[in-house]
Amino acid sequence: MSGPPLKVLMSTGPLKPMDNPYLRQLVTGLSEQIDVEPLSGRAALFCRPDVFHVQWPHQLYRAAGRPKTMVKRVLSAVLLARLRARGVPVVLTVHNVASHEKEGVVEQRLLRTLERMVTLRIYLNESDENDPTRGVVILHGDYRAWLRDQHVDTSPREPERDVILFGWLRRYKAIESLIAAARDAEATLTVTGRAIDTSYEHALRATMADVPFAMFDPWHREDDELTAEILRHRLVCLPYPQMYNSGALLYALSIDRPVLAPRSPSNEAIAHEVGEQWLMLYDGPLTAATLRDALARTPPAGSPDLSRRDWSTSIALHVACYRILAGAADGRRLPPTLSRKLLQADPVFAAHSAFNAPVQIL
């Protein structure tokens, strides 16, 4: 007779229609094999998970409005104390090297507490910035199956405009540099997506007001509409400084649109994987000349090779992480280096990425 199913507490809360497709694919796929409980106030106080999986740490201490933020911070502090007392393994997916927004004193304290508890890091790319002694690579999955299941038309079509930036519009993404480059290159530009707040939306609107042939659409688009809009453009440009991970980049590649992005260790790894004709990298600030050169290139034929990013592999590797860590913990805290050693013993990880090959851990 088998025991109870493995229970993983996921830091992101219940799934919502506007959630990141990465998260929706991950949670849906995991739920077919294990018990995934979304974080809530009740779960923080009473859930007894085998593993706690954190996606974006700020979700533990930020909310809409001061009262909700204070309640969330108290609940998160209680949750972390409960998990530490029970020796529950904590998995952290590294979406960013560092937070994009400045943390306050209380947030920094909670973040330090969480980081001390992390048992294993999951890296979404093969960047040289990753610490191989503290985690494993499980590549960020693509969006092809997702779009197919949503009946989104991704068939090739002739582009009508030059360059597009899409996704969450946030200050750290240096969107203004793209607006200036497009203006000086006399390229048609579209910026679409929800702004992080109304003040930034107004700032972007004002910046684009005097740019000829520029379109600003600060709204969330469903996948069918977003895909159609991207395919109207010859090029996706994502000028984020110190770029580490981007779902927008993989979304664009999933629908066969080339991307222009700054050089970084993670982007170099992806360019090596798919080819520089699909991910064009530039050094230094984005300029009109860089944008013109990218637009002048012959469009790549066919589709980029994203075969290593299938979701069945990603889900299987996540479940393997949970089972190995939960089985080894048994009520005691596992140091990150020991967690990496335990996973090295399973050949499926090294088969997925050379980054996961055995390393000498002191």
Q: What's the pLDDT score for residue 336? A: 73
Q: What's the pLDDT score for residue 37? A: 97
Q: What's the pLDDT score for residue 259? A: 99
Q: What's the pLDDT score for residue 53? A: 98
Residues of the chain where predicted confidence (pLDDT) is lower than 70:
1-3, 100-103, 331-332, 359-362
Q: How many CA atoms lie within 13 A of 268 on its CB side?
A: 8
Q: What's the pLDDT score for residue 287? A: 98
Q: Domain boundaries in the chain?
A: 7-141+310-356, 152-307
- Encode pLDDT of 52-96 as tens digits: 999 999 888 877 778 888 888 899 999 999 999 999 999 999 998
Q: What's the pLDDT score for residue 130? A: 94
Whole-model pTM? 0.92
Tell me the CA end-to-end span of the chain in Å, nearest whole number. 40
- Encode pLDDT of 188-216 as tens digits: 999 999 999 999 999 999 999 989 999 99
Domain spanning 152-307, CATH architecture: 3-Layer(aba) Sandwich (3.40)
